[in-house]
Structure 1
Amino acid sequence: MTRLRHRTRPLMMICAGVTGVAVLSACSSSSTGTSASGAQSSTLQTVTKRGTLNVASCLTFPPFGSVNKDNKPQGFDVDVATAMATALGVKVKIVDTTSANRIPNLQTKKVDAVVCNFTTTAERAKQVAFSDPYIVAGEVLLVKKASNIDDIDDLSGKTVAVTKGSTNGDAVKAGNPAAKIQEYDTSSAAVLAVKQGQADAMVEDSNFLNYQAKLDTSLKVTKDSVVPLEYNAIGVQQGDATWLQWVNTWLREFNTSGQADALYKKWFGVDRVYPLTPSY
């Protein structure tokens, strides 16, 4: 009995050791496999293997996105998407989208990224992952250069054009109760009201209004935002850390190289008004 126990003990230790090695090997193999599988399933690898970057952009909101006379996509966001593809060494495919379809297009993997004047919000972040900001917007005033309007304090007794359904009218009233609010169906109609003297000012996205001032040199854009600044970013699918890391790394190079500033000047006609670094 004693001898049998002495003989069995080393054998059990050997078996336990072998079993431990097998378990360790299995765990290691499983962990590596998961990691490898995760890397292979990343959008980064998918895009480079496919040779095409599919990007959702809004082609009905110039100068962020539109189509030229040859029906080809153009605009600031289109150029950003093209620069991304160039950095990846692939072609770009622009998928025309609407504001409502931006998130569904990502979730169904119809696109690899959304570059479409996509403002970051906590609510949207429940469904998509956002990159670092690549453009910042405020809600500012479009006025005639000949006017003496420089900020919201100058709107007392003045007529301010806003689009129906926006919160801009409430923001103006909160900042200057003496301002008169006039609603229009579209942003274009509100811009026209300022041009024709039916309104003294218009409130809208600063980047959009800079573009309008570029088209008509009789107009100017004020610098002070009537609401907190909005930070627009590139949207990607949640849970893909590899892809998000690449996008953010590329954005840092894109923004610090001067390429982003050059594209902004090209499309909006002015230097950036607001810095990319959030200011609270």
Structure 2
Amino acid sequence: MSMISKAASLTRWSRLAGVAITLAALGVAASAAQAQSFEELRKNGKIVIGIQGENPPWGFVDGSNQSVGFDADVGNLLGKKIGVPVVFERVAVANRIPSLMTGKVDALIAVMGMYPDRAKVVQFTKPYSAIDITLIAKPETAIKSPADLKGMRIAVARASAQDKAVTAAAPEATIQRFDDDSTAIQAFLAGQVDALGANNTYNLSISKVAPTAQFEVKLDFNRQYNGISVRPGQKQYVEELNAFIDEIKANGELDKIYERWLGQKVPEFPASLPDIPFVVN
């Protein structure tokens, strides 16, 4: 976090906050103001979950056009817990929050990094996963500190944690923003940029499309914790979701998902994060 200034962190997320708050104030989605609970979802007969569609191993589409991945497994467990079918709504990084705030989805399980500015817009649960935000480049690209990024072309997924980190660390770089992770990765592999704002699971995505590609982590920015995201004010719903997360941690189901998709055990999650409430008061 030392590379990310408070001033820079207000740029993109404050803009998102303004958009989402304006939508809510205008009443774009009346459902956004209504309380929600597992029981109401049972009455609706389904839960609609926003999930990424092109970001392995978190959320992507298999050969049968089904949503699969880490977040899909968590979403399917949630549907099983509630006792309703899961409908996955595929979202891009940039339209995750609007999809939630306009009532298009009941929850986001879509690698939603828990940051204070986002917490002003959506309500987070406690963390259920974590990733490390990094910058990668070819081995021969000389990058030892953020100062070396001056004048470089860097690809990022628009409105992502990588976008935030690179924007803060490299004000004199040319940042090329793409609609999702996969197109940012393609730009990097095609040599359109010098470096790529990434996370520690990008190697899995790259290995699928370019197994012989050579790259290495040049900078580590921060560890990002991800929470399930819902609309503000849904007290009972958040309590039930937190209980669900506690349950899949305790019974080993989250460990199985971690092993399947990331090849590791569940990391330690913080009991609290500054300015990011896990409950509705």
Query: Which bin holds the TM-score, normalised by the shorter protein?
Result: 0.5 to 0.7
Choose from 192, 200, 205 the match for 1:212.
205
Per the alignment, residue 249 of structure 1 pairs with 243
Per the alignment, residue 29 of structure 1 pairs with none
**Does residue 63 in structure 1 map to residue 88 in structure 2?**
no
Choose from 122, 131, 135 the match for 1:137.
131
Per the alignment, residue 162 of structure 1 pairs with 154
Per the alignment, residue 113 of structure 2 pairs with 119
Match runs of 1:161-180 below 5 Å: 162-163=154-155, 166-169=163-166
Per the alignment, residue 271 of structure 1 pairs with 264
Which residues of structure 2 form unaligned runs of 5+? 1-33, 275-281
Compute the displacement of 1:133 (Å). Answer: 0.9
TM-score, with length taken from structure 2: 0.63
Compute the displacement of 1:139 (Å). Answer: 1.6
Choose from 255, 270, 273 the match for 1:261.
255
- 1:127–1:188 CA distance, 2 compared to 1 (3 A): closer
| 1:176-213 CA-partner distances (Å, limit 9, x unpaired) | x9xxx786665557656876899896441223x24236
1:142–1:219 Cα contact (<8 Å) kept:
no
Per the alignment, residue 223 of structure 2 pairs with 229
Letter in 1 for 2:220: S
Compute the displacement of 1:135 (Å). Answer: 1.4
1:168–1:204 Cα contact (<8 Å) kept:
no
Per the alignment, residue 71 of structure 2 pairs with 77
Letter in 2 for 1:234: I
Structure 2 Cα separation of the partners of residues 66 and 92 of structure 1: 16
Match runs of 1:3-42 below 5 Å: 42=36
TM-score, with length taken from structure 1: 0.63
Compute the displacement of 1:81 (Å). Answer: 0.7
Letter in 2 for 1:235: S
Letter in 2 for 1:48: R
- 1:273–1:167 CA distance, 2 compared to 1 (3 A): farther
Compute the displacement of 1:168 (Å). Answer: 4.8
Compute the displacement of 1:244 (Å). Answer: 0.6
Per the alignment, residue 109 of structure 1 pairs with 103
Structure 2 Cα separation of the partners of residues 74 and 220 of structure 1: 26
2:59–2:71 Cα contact (<8 Å) kept:
yes
1:162–1:168 Cα contact (<8 Å) kept:
no
Choose from 121, 128, 142 the match for 2:122.
128
Structure 2 Cα separation of the partners of residues 101 and 200 of structure 1: 26
**What root-mean-square deviation, in Å, do the aligned CA atoms of Structure 1 and Structure 2 show?**
4.1
Higher relative contact order (CA 8 A, sep 6+): 2
Which residues of structure 1 form unaligned runs of 5+? 1-39
| 1:34-72 CA-partner distances (Å, limit 9, x unpaired) | xxxxxx963221112233111111213333222222212
Q: How many residues align?
A: 231
Greater helix fraction, Structure 1 or Structure 2: 1
Once the two structures are overlaid, the 10-residue window that deviates more, 73-82 or 95-104, is 95-104
Structure 2 Cα separation of the partners of residues 167 and 103 of structure 1: 16
